[in-house]
Chains A and B, each alone.
Chain A
């Protein structure tokens, strides 16, 4: 049996290997989505492809990249050599969508395959019908760009130029895609070198024993935790809309003894639109909240996968059949799976005296994808996402408000770019970007606020740019509340048609500081490709987190603080929290008492 000190050292070295590999990836990649948004992932896998050390970044990928490793092992059996690097991005094999390209690399020690490193970035472009890879126009996966079930990009240390050139010949901005792929090659190189150094120091036998122990330890720890939680069944329902078609993801999570089952029976049939996801993507989507919510102090590896089962009906939104389009999956069905799992896990934790403090309402549930594309002010073709989507909003906890603009559950390191970074890359100017009032779900503890922003064209050689909107609707709130808390607000995407204004009105519109101050007609835009040209503006607001507990239990002074900090409006405070204020922002105590009594009475007589 391995001694505990050596085991602990190896465990921590594995964490550091992943950390250094992530840093390498970020240093080489030139994409804002990678460097700013942290839409990336690096993890380590055992020789058989099972997860050894889940890294940070988008956690949806931890299990999917394991499947990518296993698929490569099957496909290239007997031909996997030291120095190889494989590329895979087929969603029906393992990936989430074609833009999220996996590079997986075997790690050999003394001629024997001992482990794998795997990483992904959302590449700059993948040659799909829409720039950036999210394809609201796709009717099947055949419009969603380059896709492979596995290619040996590097053979024994030598780059295969034919493959490299073929990929880059099929994408827009090949120089940026090349940088993305190079970043993953560098990342895997660093991971491999550090792993070999680690194994060399402690010996392959000790290393293998440590890995085996680590996985067994994680499994034991999760099973012990599950046993401490109550047995039961919890349900969630997520709606997402595309072009007025409402799709539903239905989840029933059953916990018995030391096992958890996630059953998506009842979910809508697969959609003609690209919001579907494959079963590997669904599995990733439900594990993304499992890791941080149930395994916050457990190493993320194969051990925590073993007690979990998933039922995803074939031909449904969460397990679609080829060639259904899936390019919007990461903000579509996968996100809904993630939200539903977050909701049911939150309810289960909230049913436990011991673990209630770990419960949370749903975080930033309406992750959105808006990709700009066009000639920028430097006369170069530019493609990129509004990284604001990664800024998120925290769900309320059972003891505290959700964190305003507090990120998202599936990516512990997500963040957004500075305004100036985006303005330097695209010919746009921000009119404003700030917290969104009333976006956090009401409750004893309030959901964290989301944000709002508006942009206009600026210094654009072509008079503006275009953008791909994969908003999958803004009709239904998605950040569910917990234990009586309200859901967070839905998203909103508006095309503000300043071009139709008079010159005087356009002058005023140049510096509009709120959506209400914008005089022009507004059109909802949530699915398709749209122009941003001339004087027009694009306005976006995104959801807050879900609230927790009864809003009438929120202390008056905390509501007043919310008003002062811009989190809550006077109207919202009155209607939802029952707090009445005067024109100076001070509480009207008698009126507040009456208002709260009235709201309570309304409930009892409903």
Chain B
């Protein structure tokens, strides 16, 4: 079952789990905030190339699969902001 282009939902021992759609690695239980279980790369946006002429406080969070490294999601944030917690019921 699809959660997004990067994540699927599978059932393991009767529990719904989110897994990487690239390598099928389990990331987190589907009813928990999955981003805490992904690999987080958080850096000021201006460190990227190009016209990201942003200040230090503008952060790009990249959430990657802990096994294959594919990007699962991104979000903009300021330091200390909560993760954007998307979930299916």
| A residues lining the B interface (CB < 8 Å) | 230-237, 239, 246, 256, 347, 350-353, 356, 398, 436-439, 474-477, 480-481, 483-487, 489-490, 492, 541, 548-553, 569, 571-572, 574-576, 600-604, 606
List B contacts of A606 (CB < 8 A): 39-41, 62, 64
Question: Once the chains are docked, how many angstroms separate the CA of A246 from the CA of B81?
Answer: 13
List A contacts of B53 (CB < 8 A): 474, 490, 492
* Interface pairs A-B: 8 shortest CB-CB: A438-B50, A484-B71, A575-B49, A606-B41, A232-B88, A603-B64, A550-B71, A483-B5
Q: 11 A-B contacts, Cβ less than 8 Å apart?
A: A231-B88, A237-B84, A239-B58, A438-B50, A477-B58, A490-B51, A550-B71, A603-B41, A603-B62, A606-B41, A606-B62
Known: A236-B84, A353-B2, A356-B5. A569 touches B49 (CB 8 A): yes
> Which of A239, A541, A604 lies in contact with B66, CB distance below 8 A?
A604
Known: A480-B76, A486-B60, A576-B48. 19 other contacts (CB 8 A): A230-B88, A233-B89, A235-B85, A237-B77, A347-B86, A438-B49, A475-B54, A476-B58, A477-B45, A477-B52, A477-B58, A484-B5, A484-B6, A492-B51, A548-B5, A575-B48, A600-B69, A603-B39, A604-B64
A566 to chain B, nearest CB (A): 13
**CB distance B3 to A572 under 8 Å?**
no
> Which of A234, A438, A477, A490 lies in contact with B86, CB distance below 8 A?
A234
**CB distance B49 to A574 under 8 Å?**
yes
Question: What is the interface residue range for chain B against chain A?
Answer: 35 or more
Question: Once the chains are docked, how many angstroms separate the CA of A541 from the CA of B52?
Answer: 12
Question: Once the chains are docked, how many angstroms separate the CA of A603 from the CA of B86?
Answer: 21
B74-86 near A? 1/0 per residue, CB < 8 Å: 1111100100111
**CB distance A572 to B50 under 8 Å?**
yes
Question: Once the chains are docked, how many angstroms separate the CA of A438 from the CA of B78?
Answer: 23
> Which of A256, A571, A572, A602 lies in contact with B89, CB distance below 8 A?
A256
**CB distance A484 to B74 under 8 Å?**
yes
Q: Could you tell me which residues of chain B, from 1 to 50, have a CB within 8 Å of some CB in chain A?
A: 2-6, 39-41, 45, 48-50
List B contacts of A490 (CB < 8 A): 51-54
Question: Once the chains are docked, how many angstroms separate the CA of A548 from the CA of B6?
Answer: 11
> Which of A356, A398, A489 lies in contact with B51, CB distance below 8 A?
A489
> Which of A398, A552, A571 lies in contact with B49, CB distance below 8 A?
A571
List B contacts of A487 (CB < 8 A): 45, 60, 74, 76
List A contacts of B64 (CB < 8 A): 603-604, 606
B82 to chain A, nearest CB (A): 9
Question: Once the chains are docked, how many angstroms separate the CA of A405 from the CA of B62?
Answer: 26
List B contacts of A480 (CB < 8 A): 75-76
Question: Once the chains are docked, how many angstroms separate the CA of A575 from the CA of B68?
Answer: 19
List A contacts of B54 (CB < 8 A): 475-477, 490
A466 to chain B, nearest CB (A): 25
**CB distance A239 to B52 under 8 Å?**
no
**CB distance B86 to A232 under 8 Å?**
yes
Question: Once the chains are docked, how many angstroms separate the CA of A350 from the CA of B8?
Answer: 11
| B residues lining the A interface (CB < 8 Å) | 2-6, 39-41, 45, 48-55, 57-58, 60, 62, 64, 66-78, 81, 84-89
Question: Once the chains are docked, how many angstroms separate the CA of A467 from the CA of B36?
Answer: 47
* Identity of the chain B residue whose Cβ is nearest the Cβ of A548 in the assembled complex: B5
List B contacts of A553 (CB < 8 A): 70
**CB distance B6 to A483 under 8 Å?**
yes
B55 to chain A, nearest CB (A): 5
* Identity of the chain A residue whose Cβ is nearest the Cβ of B2 in the assembled complex: A353
**CB distance A237 to B81 under 8 Å?**
yes
**CB distance B87 to A486 under 8 Å?**
no
List B contacts of A483 (CB < 8 A): 4-6, 73
Question: Once the chains are docked, how many angstroms separate the CA of A485 from the CA of B63?
Answer: 11
**CB distance A475 to B51 under 8 Å?**
no
B38 to chain A, nearest CB (A): 10
* Identity of the chain B residue whose Cβ is nearest the Cβ of A480 in the assembled complex: B76
**CB distance B5 to A439 under 8 Å?**
no
List A contacts of B85 (CB < 8 A): 233, 235
**CB distance A237 to B69 under 8 Å?**
no
B68 to chain A, nearest CB (A): 8
List A contacts of B71 (CB < 8 A): 484, 549-552, 603
List A contacts of B41 (CB < 8 A): 602-603, 606
**CB distance A232 to B6 under 8 Å?**
no
**CB distance B75 to A237 under 8 Å?**
yes
**CB distance A398 to B5 under 8 Å?**
yes
List A contacts of B67 (CB < 8 A): 604
A411 to chain B, nearest CB (A): 24
**CB distance A484 to B89 under 8 Å?**
no
List B contacts of A574 (CB < 8 A): 49
* Identity of the chain B residue whose Cβ is nearest the Cβ of A487 in the assembled complex: B76
List B contacts of A602 (CB < 8 A): 41
**CB distance A569 to B69 under 8 Å?**
no
* Identity of the chain B residue whose Cβ is nearest the Cβ of A547 in the assembled complex: B74
Known: A476-B58, A484-B72, A550-B70. A436 touches B6 (CB 8 A): no
**CB distance B3 to A351 under 8 Å?**
yes
Question: Once the chains are docked, how many angstroms separate the CA of A452 from the CA of B28?
Answer: 43
* Identity of the chain A residue whose Cβ is nearest the Cβ of B66 in the assembled complex: A604
Question: Once the chains are docked, how many angstroms separate the CA of A398 from the CA of B41?
Answer: 24
* Identity of the chain A residue whose Cβ is nearest the Cβ of B55 in the assembled complex: A475
Question: Once the chains are docked, how many angstroms separate the CA of A574 from the CA of B48?
Answer: 11
List B contacts of A235 (CB < 8 A): 84-86
Question: Once the chains are docked, how many angstroms separate the CA of A490 from the CA of B88?
Answer: 31
**CB distance B51 to A439 under 8 Å?**
yes
List B contacts of A477 (CB < 8 A): 45, 52, 54, 58, 76
* Identity of the chain A residue whose Cβ is nearest the Cβ of B42 in the assembled complex: A606
> Which of B52, B75, B77 lies in contact with A489, CB distance below 8 A?
B52
Residue among B4, B72, B85 with the highest chain A CB neighbour number at 10 A: B4
Question: Once the chains are docked, how many angstroms separate the CA of A371 from the CA of B71?
Answer: 41
Residue among A237, A475, A483, A603 with the highest chain B CB neighbour number at 10 A: A603
Question: Once the chains are docked, how many angstroms separate the CA of A475 from the CA of B50?
Answer: 14
List B contacts of A437 (CB < 8 A): 50-51
**CB distance B87 to A232 under 8 Å?**
yes
